Amino acid sequence: TSYVQLKDIVKEHRPKVIPQKETGTVLPWVHIAISNAKRLLYLSRYET
């Protein structure tokens, strides 16, 4: 799988637990992108 070669590229990984209320401020573009994708999927289901 592709994860086998990942350890050659990523030397260190430090996970960070973010409280749910702060997710929009820590990763604002990720939050916006996911919200937009969910809305697009919702609309595409009901436009047919």
Instruction: Encode pLDDT of 1-48 as tens digits.
Output: 567 788 788 888 888 898 988 877 888 898 889 999 999 988 877 765
pLDDT of residue 48: 57
> Residue 10 corresponds to which tokens in the numbers above?
């990523």
User: One-letter amino acid identity for 26?
Assistant: V
pLDDT at 7: 79
Residue from 45, 46, 41, 21 nearest 31 by CA: 21
Sequence ranges of the domains in the chain: 18-48
Q: What is the pLDDT of residue 22?
A: 86
Residue type, 48: T
